[in-house]
Amino acid sequence: MKAKIVITPKKAVLDPQGKTVQAALEQMGHDGVKAVHVGKYLEIELEGDAEAWRPKIDEACHKLLSNPVIEDYHFTIE
């Protein structure tokens, strides 16, 4: 069983890494890129019950893995 967590900067937060990637894509000649957001991805291999893990993963995202002031997160367990 795996938890897949995606952490992205909130829309209102400046994303200089995203801006840099966007500029690089344009320099490669790719027009039509409206925006780029760069975030983190975590895959956690788990043992046990998925429903029992859900609140634990949520707590870990909130306290450990993301900065809730400037980042959003969502995750799936499957």
Residues that bind a second copy (CB under 8 A): 6-8, 18, 21, 24-25, 28, 30, 32-48, 53, 56, 59-60, 63-65
Q: State the Cα angle at 72 between 66 and 75, rounded to 5°.
A: 80
Quick one: 63 or 69, whose CB is closer to a second copy? 63
How far, CA to CA in Å, does 15 sit from each of 3, 45, 50, 76? 26, 29, 33, 24
| Pair of tokens at residue 71 | 């980042």
**Of 66, 61, 69, which Cα lies nearest the Cα of 77?**
61
Quick one: 12 or 41, whose CB is closer to a second copy? 41
Quick one: 13 or 30, whose CB is closer to a second copy? 30
Rounded to a whole number of angstroms, the minimum distance from the CB of residue 65 to a second copy is 7
Rounded to a whole number of angstroms, the minimum distance from the CB of residue 70 to a second copy is 15
